[in-house]
Amino acid sequence: MDSAVQQYSDLEPNTGPGQERILGASGHTRIPDFRDLGELKTGRVIQNTGNLKDFITYAEQTGGQVRLFVRPGVDLAPIQIAIDRNLVAVYYVKPILVLPAQ
């Protein structure tokens, strides 16, 4: 799904030198999937995990926003308050099928 996110946004994968790291309120170092606080979730229900809570808290403290990439039809109820407060922007992406080389 990483390639699908890149197709629909300007976000770069958060890998290699200069990798973005965030010290979360929990005291853990968090590493977003994409630069500029972009996160990819592929489950059917988006749980308000410690990782996501830390990103949302960081966005609130810095005046930023978590850019959350999900599949269409996912259940966002567990994070609906953060979405309503404009701390999370939701982007729906469809996976790109990549076939193995022949």
Determine the pLDDT at residue 53: 94
Q: What is the pTM of this model?
A: 0.81
**Other residues' Cβ atoms within 10 Å of the Cβ of residue 54:** 21
Domain extent listing, the chain: 2-92
pLDDT in tens, the chain (102 residues): 445 555 555 677 888 888 899 998 889 999 998 888 999 888 899 999 899 999 999 999 999 999 999 989 999 999 999 999 999 999 998 766 555 666
E strand residue ranges, the chain: 22-23, 29-30, 38-40, 66-70, 88-92
